Amino acid sequence: MKLAAVVLAAGKGTRMKSKIPKVLHKVSGLPMISHVLHSVSKAGIEKKVVVVGYQGDQVAAQLGQDVNIAVQEEQLGTAHALLSAESMLRDFSGHILVLCGDTPLIKPQTLKDLVSFHVDSASVATVLTAKLEDPTGYGRVIRDKAGSVAKIVEQKDASPVELNIQEINTGIYCFQSEFLFEALRHISPNNAQGEYYLTDIIQLYVSQGRLVSAIAVVDAAEIQGINDRVHLAAAESVLRRQMLDKLMLGGVTVIDPASTFIDQTVEIGTDTVILPYTCIEGNTVIGSDCIIGPHTRLSDTRIGNCVEIQNSVLLKSDVGDQSSIGPFAYIRPDTVIGEQVKVGDFVEIKKSNIGNKSKIPHLSYIGDSEIAENVNIGAGTITCNYDGVAKHRTTIEEGAFIGSNTNLVAPVSVGAGAVIGAGSTITMDVPPGALGVARGKQKNINNWLSRKTPEKRD
Q: How confident is the model at residue 107 (pLDDT cuts 50, 70, 90)?
A: very high
Residue 32 CA, chain-centre distance (Å), reads 10
Q: Which residues are annotated as a binding site for Mg(2+)?
A: 102, 227
Pairing assessment for the beta strands 140-143 and 149-153 based on DSSP bridges: antiparallel
- For 10-28, give the DSSP string: ----GGG-SSS-GGGSEET
Looking at the DSSP assignment, which residues form a beta bridge with residue 426? 408
- H helix count then E strand count, the chain: 11, 39
31 and 11 inside one domain: yes
Q: Which residues are annotated as a binding site for UDP-N-acetyl-alpha-D-glucosamine?
A: 8-11, 22, 72, 77-78, 139, 154, 169, 227, 332, 350, 365, 376
- For 74-102, give the DSSP string: S---HHHHHHTTHHHHTT--SEEEEEETT
End-to-end distance of the chain based on CA atoms, in angstroms? 95
Q: How confident is the model at residue 165 (pLDDT cuts 50, 70, 90)?
A: very high
In a domain, 376, yes or no: yes
Q: What is the mean pLDDT of residues 406-420?
A: 98
In a domain, 51, yes or no: yes
Domain boundary among the residues 223, 244, 262 is at 223
Burial class from Cβ neighbours inside 10 Å (0-12, 13-18, 19+) for residue 352 reads buried
User: For the domain that residue 130 is a member of, what is the CATH number?
Assistant: 3.90.550.10
Q: What is the mean pLDDT of residues 430-452?
A: 91
85 and 114 inside one domain: yes
User: For the domain that residue 357 is a member of, what is the CATH number?
Assistant: 2.160.10.10
Q: CA-CA distance, 140 to 156, in Å (whole number)?
A: 11
Supply the range of the domain harboring residue 261.
Answer: 229-436
Burial class from Cβ neighbours inside 10 Å (0-12, 13-18, 19+) for residue 318 reads middle
Q: Which residues are annotated as a binding site for acetyl-CoA?
A: 379, 385-386, 404, 422, 439
318 and 408 inside one domain: yes
Q: CA-CA distance, 169 to 171, in Å (whole number)?
A: 6
pLDDT for residue 453: 61
pLDDT digits (tens, 9 = 90+) for 338-383: 999 999 999 999 999 999 999 999 999 999 999 999 999 999 999 9
Residue 448 has pLDDT above 90, yes or no: no
pLDDT digits (tens, 9 = 90+) for 138-157: 999 999 988 889 999 988 88
Torsion (CA) 92, 93, 94, 100 in degrees, nearest 10: 30
Residue 183 CA, chain-centre distance (Å), reads 39
pLDDT for residue 137: 87
pLDDT for residue 414: 98
Burial class from Cβ neighbours inside 10 Å (0-12, 13-18, 19+) for residue 65 reads exposed
Q: How confident is the model at residue 331 (pLDDT cuts 50, 70, 90)?
A: very high
Q: What is the mean pLDDT of residues 194-213?
A: 92
Q: Does residue 35 carry a catalytic annotation? A: no
Q: CA-CA distance, 406 to 363, in Å (whole number)?
A: 11
Torsion (CA) 400, 401, 406, 412 in degrees, nearest 10: -10
66 or 277, which is more confident? 277
pLDDT for residue 145: 87
In a domain, 279, yes or no: yes
Q: Which residues are annotated as a binding site?
A: 8-11, 22, 72, 77-78, 102, 139, 154, 169, 227, 332, 350, 365, 376, 379, 385-386, 404, 422, 439
The number of distinct structural domains making up the chain is 2
pLDDT for residue 191: 75
pLDDT for residue 398: 98
Q: What is the CA radius of gyration of the chain?
A: 31
In a domain, 330, yes or no: yes
Q: What is the mean pLDDT of residues 4-11?
A: 96
Residue 101 has pLDDT above 90, yes or no: yes
102 and 207 inside one domain: yes
In a domain, 289, yes or no: yes
Residue 181 has pLDDT above 60, yes or no: yes
pLDDT digits (tens, 9 = 90+) for 43-94: 999 899 999 999 999 999 999 888 999 999 988 999 999 999 999 998 899 9
Within 377-443, residue ranges assigned H as helices are none
Residue 409 has pLDDT above 80, yes or no: yes
Q: What is the mean pLDDT of residues 15-42?
A: 96
pLDDT for residue 456: 53
Q: CA-CA distance, 31 to 325, in Å (whole number)?
A: 31
Nearest to 99 by CA among 27, 42, 172, 150: 172
237 and 211 inside one domain: no
pLDDT digits (tens, 9 = 90+) for 220-234: 999 999 999 999 999
Q: What is the mean pLDDT of residues 153-182?
A: 93
pLDDT for residue 262: 98
What is the residue-averaged pLDDT of the chain? 95
Q: What is the mean pLDDT of residues 327-331?
A: 98
Torsion (CA) 157, 160, 164, 168 in degrees, nearest 10: -10
Domain boundary among the residues 223, 245, 261 is at 223
pLDDT for residue 349: 98
In a domain, 451, yes or no: no
**Which DSSP helix (H) or strand (E) runs through 256?**
none
pLDDT for residue 64: 80
- Could you tell me what percentage of the chain is helix, strand and coil, using 3-state DSSP and rounding each to the nearest 5? 25, 30, 45
In a domain, 34, yes or no: yes
Residue 114 has pLDDT above 90, yes or no: yes
Catalytic residue among 35, 95, 362, 392: 362
Q: CA-CA distance, 221 to 153, in Å (whole number)?
A: 21
Q: Are 287 and 308 in contact (CB under 8 A)?
A: no
pLDDT for residue 249: 98
